[in-house]
Structure 1
Amino acid sequence: LFFLAKRINFDLRTRLICFQWKSLDLCIHLTNLLRIFPQLPKDLPFLKRVNQNPKKPTTQFDLSLAIRFENCMEATALSSGLRPLPNPNGYRLPRSCSQRKSLPLARFHSKETPFKKPQGSLAITHHRGLSFKTNVFEQAHHPVAGDLSYDDTSRSNVAEDKIGVLLLNLGGPETLNDVQPFLYNLFADPDIIRLPRPFQFLQGAIAKFISVVRAPKSKEGYAAIGGGSPLRKITDEQADAIRLALQAKNVSADVYVGMRYWFPFTEEAVQQIKKDKITRLVVLPLYPQYSISTTGSSVRVLQDLFRKDPYLARVPVAIIESWYQRRGYVNSMADLIQKELQTFSDPKEVMVFFSAHGVPVSYVENSGDPYQKQMEECIDLIMEELKSRGVQNNHILAYQSRVGPVQWLKPYTDEVLVDLGKHGVKSLLAVPVSFVSEHIETLEEIDMEYRELALESGIENWGRVPALGLTPSFITDLADAVIESLPSAEAMVNPSAGVSEDSESSDAFGYIMKMFFGSVLAFLLLLSPKMFHAFRNHLI
């Protein structure tokens, strides 16, 4: 619009820049939602002219921050020496702006705009996703809580800190009506469905389509286990158990639960953490092995929330990214397996069948996801512990829960079960190694679908190791992990740091794509009948 305005007469140019239309406002919100609103180039003439008057010190414009389109265009007009006209939108313009060619752009930020400059210069990324019950996923700026004071002296001694522990987990629908919106949140996560950069604006539409298509079958699964996932209830119980275990070790801490795709969301937990004025935080994802799609996704959301808040940005945080190698976890898994083997008539002939949640092969080969390597190391550690106890059973690892046409980690659980039956395996003990709580993938997928498939394939004796849940040795080990990580806590975001290197706004290709799609959308809206009518009645 600015370049178009340069080719029309003086008054029309000024009106075009200063007048705001509802259709244009819609364009702004759409482009912001699709993350295609372009960052302005640093070599635009009107930005160079801001400091022409040395007697009038001006505030430098930080291009790393998202700004409202109308504020930028208004500042452009005034910086170009255009006289202002009365505007219907209540902009507070200086009376003498027509005589001033050098004006501080910072003065033209509307008081109503949600885009406020945080402490330091930070790369603000948008979290894409959607909650059907709360509007915390599609906001460009998510207000966590009100301004709170922070006492820097609390960093000096861990004992003087107010300690918080945040448990991160997947989340699950609690009723059948929650299934479709839960699936939407799941597939709207760019760490679950990884689209090429030019097509990332289609994430929401693709998530909507998949969630609608998969919802009927998923509802059948949740109906079979009682109408909803028990994950939230079990995770809350684990949080209470960890808090008591920490108290027994003379560590007072508040324990919070943040779910990635359903209530209570991570955003809600962060609100409570700030409200409680936590001064030292340990983040404990309830995933033993690290993966981009589990721990990585949850931590990314957490980092975005902390980056946007000056108080949280200074809170020391320790993140336990993986803990599959901890002796307490390995011993707890070995205890459960050894106990369950004793239920078979001939324990030595039982095949120990480890079933882990799969991930696409591209995560490992193209994105460097360490999940497969850590999973294999985890199985080796558990089997070494069992062998030290005299348990010499054969074992195998397979991956379950694949979806879509892409290739996932192999071997697949269903194919391995059929193959084991063909090779004469008669007794099998299933071990859900990547799950620490019972949920649909253990209660329905393993206990029902895979058990039925195993029996049909010729396996006569079936057993399944329960998830760790509230196993005392497991809870104690998690409490020990929290205590051990406290001294290493440090601020997640450096307030004085500049824009992050991996910021999409610094990517030339990303900038070109944003400019292209933003231009196309703006052009289409300008051709709409309402916009044409507005131009004809008010500008010509």
Structure 2
Amino acid sequence: MEATALSAGFRPLLKPHGYKLPRSSSQKNSSSFVRCESSSGFNKPKPEGSIAITHRGSSFKTNVFEQARSVAGDSSSYDDTTAKTRSHVAEDKIGVLLLNLGGPETLNDVQPFLYNLFADPDIIRLPRPFQFLQGTIAKFISVVRAPKSKEGYAAIGGGSPLRKITDEQADAIKMALQAKNIAANVYVGMRYWFPFTEEAVQQIKKDKITRLVVLPLYPQYSISTTGSSIRVLQDLFRKDPYLAGVPVAIIQSWYQRRGYVTSMADLIKKELQNFSDPKEAMIFFSAHGVPVSYVENSGDPYQKQMEECIFLIMEELKARGVPNEHILAYQSRVGPVQWLKPYTDEVLVDLGKKGVKSLLAVPVSFVSEHIETLEEIDMEYRELALESGIENWGRVPALGLTPSFITDLADAVIESLPSAEAIWNPSAVVSEDSESSDAFNYIVKMFFGSILAFVLLLSPKMIDAFRNHLI
């Protein structure tokens, strides 16, 4: 019975009816594979038929020092883009889709949310022969981790505020676009919780949107965030004749935009004033980590983009007379594999040993408050810092509804509109035979997954090993 229950969770819990766990990008045909186009050294040719990924805003230089000087952007090119946009506005019904992680809104949501997270093949990347076990492993990990995660969410009020904040950001972006004479419907699609991306896409279709800009709320691109969400979108669009013909532009990353950089610098400079000696406070950038294998084996540009992002923010601060020392570390690692270093917790202890007394934490990869800022940074890391000898602790709030930030996101949308293009040829949508084949494969996977789940449940050593690594 328990083994069957584990394998029955192969499909993500509480997803819209009919949703299937997307295959990992390595399983897809190359013609439907989304590649990250980045001028930071990860350029790859875009296969025919893939999503048009655009990177608008200030031009990105190979030399990051040149980029820092050009981050202010070119107003004349913006005017040209705006002029082109006007023609699209007159012809199209415009939609903007904001993508985000999602989060459990109650403690009862925690375990199914974790299941959806770990069932994502871009989060837990299994070798091809074992990919049919994705759901079984996700179920096991989510059950093991749920008690500790519930404690974290209970500490911040019993649930994540991410949906509320993202909805507010959507409303603010819509108003900012209206102020620029751009009428657009703004939608929110979450990857692992309500409202799911699938729900947002169905509403986009219902509203008969004819031109769409996809804006992931992640400043830096990573396979596990923007990449995962794009993969789901691609799967949805390729199966629907109407959606397949809708011109789409995806803003894959925007950490180098003038509005983002200056908004971050504004918040940092403001929070430094809360220290008795602002110049003595070290600026501590804490970013969400990713496994090293993503960067070294899969070409994930996240680490490089993060380092360039920190450089640009610090250059902006220095230009304002803020020469403080700074350091970058990575938080939120999970499991036994190696993640990007240095680790936030280890750096805090080391800084205390070195005599650092004042520290300003900056959650650089998060634009909304959620558990990793409110609980992990504000509670766990703050306590660790004080125990390690750091006496003065401060934290920069997430950007949230900062006006300059919202305005810049609206500008990014406007700049991207002219470059939108259809993802698929509508005549090339997935056939019913393909769907039948998927159903057969699902049954086979569920059968073998049940067998493995039964073995795992009868193996205390295996359970203890997982528990030691995951808790």
The answer to whether the 8 A contact 2:286-2:344 is kept is yes
From 208, 218, 241, the equivalent of 1:310 is 241
From 333, 337, 342, the equivalent of 1:406 is 337
Letter in 2 for 1:397: L
- Corresponding residue for 2:56? none
Q: Within the alignment, does 1:373 sit opposite 2:304 as a pair? A: yes
From 340, 352, 355, the equivalent of 2:286 is 355
- Corresponding residue for 2:212? 281
Q: Deviations over 1:97-149 (max 9, x none)?
A: xxxxxxxxxxxxxxxxxxxxxxxxxxxxxxx7412364343389xxxxxxxxx
Q: Within the alignment, does 1:189 sit opposite 2:148 as a pair? A: no
- Corresponding residue for 2:265? 334
Q: Distance in 1 between matches of 2:368 and 2:261?
A: 16
Q: Distance in 2 between matches of 1:350 and 1:225?
A: 27
Q: Within the alignment, does 1:487 sit opposite 2:424 as a pair? A: no
- Corresponding residue for 1:137? 19
Letter in 2 for 1:336: L
Q: Within the alignment, does 1:469 sit opposite 2:400 as a pair? A: yes
| SS of the residue 2:228 aligns to | helix
Q: How does 1:7-26 map to 2 (within 5 A)?
A: none
The answer to whether the 8 A contact 2:330-2:344 is kept is yes
Q: Distance in 1 between matches of 2:315 and 2:363?
A: 18
Q: Distance in 1 between matches of 2:353 and 2:87?
A: 63
The answer to whether the 8 A contact 1:428-1:461 is kept is yes
* Structure 1 ranges of 4+ moved more than 2 A: 131-140, 155-159, 494-499
CA deviation after TM superposition for structure 1 residue 497, in Å:
6.1
Q: Deviations over 1:349-402 (max 9, x none)?
A: 000000000000000000000000000000000000000001000000000000
CA deviation after TM superposition for structure 1 residue 492, in Å:
1.4
Q: Deviations over 1:227-256 (max 9, x none)?
A: 000000000000000000000000000000
Q: How does 1:25-424 map to 2 (within 5 A)?
A: 129-132=11-14, 134-138=16-20, 157-424=88-355
Q: Distance in 2 between matches of 1:239 and 1:498?
A: 30
Q: Deviations over 1:501-522 (max 9, x none)?
A: xxxx9xxxxxxxx8xx78x97x
Q: Distance in 1 between matches of 2:142 and 2:429?
A: 38
Relative distance call for 1:194 and 1:335 in structure 2 (3 A) is: same
Relative distance call for 1:136 and 1:465 in structure 2 (3 A) is: farther
The answer to whether the 8 A contact 1:168-1:266 is kept is yes
| SS of the residue 1:408 aligns to | coil
Q: Distance in 1 between matches of 2:11 and 2:134?
A: 9
TM-score w.r.t. the length of structure 2 is: 0.75
Letter in 1 for 2:221: Y
The answer to whether the 8 A contact 2:239-2:429 is kept is no
Q: Deviations over 1:171-209 (max 9, x none)?
A: 000000000000000000000000000000000000000
Q: Whose RCO is larger (CA < 8 A, sep 6+)? A: 2
Q: Distance in 1 between matches of 2:429 and 2:192?
A: 31
Q: Deviations over 1:467-504 (max 9, x none)?
A: 000000000000000000000000012336699xxxxx
From 433, 437, 446, the equivalent of 2:368 is 437
Gaps of 5+ in 2: 1-6, 23-85, 435-440, 452-471
| SS of the residue 2:361 aligns to | strand
Relative distance call for 1:227 and 1:415 in structure 2 (3 A) is: same
The answer to whether the 8 A contact 1:170-1:260 is kept is yes
CA deviation after TM superposition for structure 1 residue 156, in Å:
7.6
Q: Distance in 2 between matches of 1:181 and 1:170?
A: 14
Q: Distance in 2 between matches of 1:497 and 1:315?
A: 14
Letter in 2 for 1:471: T
The answer to whether the 8 A contact 1:158-1:487 is kept is no
Bigger Rg over Cα: 1
| SS of the residue 1:366 aligns to | helix
Q: Distance in 1 between matches of 2:109 and 2:165?
A: 18
The answer to whether the 8 A contact 1:332-1:468 is kept is yes
Q: Deviations over 1:406-434 (max 9, x none)?
A: 00000000000000000000000000000
- Corresponding residue for 1:78? none
More helix by share: 2
Q: Distance in 2 between matches of 1:371 and 1:469?
A: 22
Q: Distance in 1 between matches of 2:328 and 2:208?
A: 44
The answer to whether the 8 A contact 1:353-1:430 is kept is yes
Letter in 2 for 1:494: N
Share of identical aligned residues, percent? 88
RMSD of equivalent CA atoms: 2.4
Residue-pair matches, total: 370
- Corresponding residue for 2:464? none
Q: Distance in 1 between matches of 2:237 and 2:273?
A: 48
Q: Distance in 2 between matches of 1:442 and 1:162?
A: 37
- Corresponding residue for 1:54? none
Q: Distance in 2 between matches of 1:305 and 1:134?
A: 12
| SS of the residue 1:172 aligns to | coil
- Corresponding residue for 2:455? none
Q: Distance in 2 between matches of 1:139 and 1:394?
A: 45
